[in-house]
Amino acid sequence: MKREIEKLIQALILIIAYLLGSIPSGLIAGKVFFGLDIREHGSGNLGATNSFRVLGKKAGTVVTVADILKGTVATLLPLSFDAGIHPLIAGLVAVIGHMFPIFAGFRGGKAVATSAGVLLAYNPLVFLFLAAIFVIILLLTKYVSLASVLTAAVAFIYAIIHTFYTNDLPFLAAITAIFFFVLFRHRANIVRLKNKTEPKANFGKKN
């Protein structure tokens, strides 16, 4: 009976993690505060970057924070229950929910902000390090997509080195998954970067 209850709790945690990830922050912000569907504007993506471009800096910042917190809360869920599930598993499920949200026709974001939230919960110092890397690349290149992909690559390299010394295999597995999530979701951006047709960061003039 105890084992069955534990399995039920694990399933509930994963379901909640997916539902958290599925909350379409950009869609909600656009419809509630601006009366528009950001999927019909800009790149058509529900993520933070398109929210900045379409809704402006303030709304974009709110969406970014909300998307990060989805990953953070989901990763912390297993720590609230003694259910024998690794926090990073719940975090990755939230990332999947963010990419393929049930509340938005399975058309979601590109995994970056929610993945950052997973790292914030699991290793805040790594989160800060990678956030700095992202900002530096963005300021130097003005390409959000390039900053996202290169930061994911740095995270992957760091995870390999980190695991060599700590044997934290779940961390390596999670970062590897996130790296490939980011590559997959940015495949069109990568093609445009190669063709020099990728638009540079332009977050709009709205407050």
Per-residue confidence (pLDDT) for residue 82, from 0 to 100: 74
From 116, 124, 107, 132, select the one nearest 37 (Cα to Cα).
107
Q: For 4-26, b where at least 16 C-beta lie within 10 A, e where not — what string?
A: eeeeebbeebbebbbbbbbbbbb
Per-residue confidence (pLDDT) for residue 133, from 0 to 100: 97
> Hey, what amino acid is at 172?
L
* Residue corresponding to tokens 């970067």: 193
Question: Has this prediction a pTM greater than 0.75?
Answer: yes
pLDDT tens, residue by residue, 119-128: 999 999 999 9
* Tokens found for residue 189: 């951006």
> How do the pLDDT tens digits run along the chain, 207 residues long?
777 888 889 999 999 999 999 999 999 999 998 989 898 888 788 888 888 888 888 889 999 999 999 999 999 999 888 778 999 999 999 999 999 999 998 989 999 999 999 999 999 999 999 999 999 999 999 999 999 999 999 999 999 999 999 999 999 999 999 999 999 999 999 999 999 999 888 654 444
Question: If you count them, how many residues does the chain have?
Answer: 207
What does the alpha-carbon distance between residue 177 and residue 105 come to, in Å, rounded to a whole number?
Answer: 23
> Hey, what amino acid is at 161?
I
Please spell the DSSP secondary structure of 133-149, one letter per residue.
HHHHHHHHH--HHHHHH
Per-residue confidence (pLDDT) for residue 47, from 0 to 100: 85
Q: For 168-196, b where at least 16 C-beta lie within 10 A, e where not — what string?
A: beebbbbbebbbebbbebbeebeeebeee
Four-CA torsion 200, 138, 24, 74, nearest 10 degrees: 160
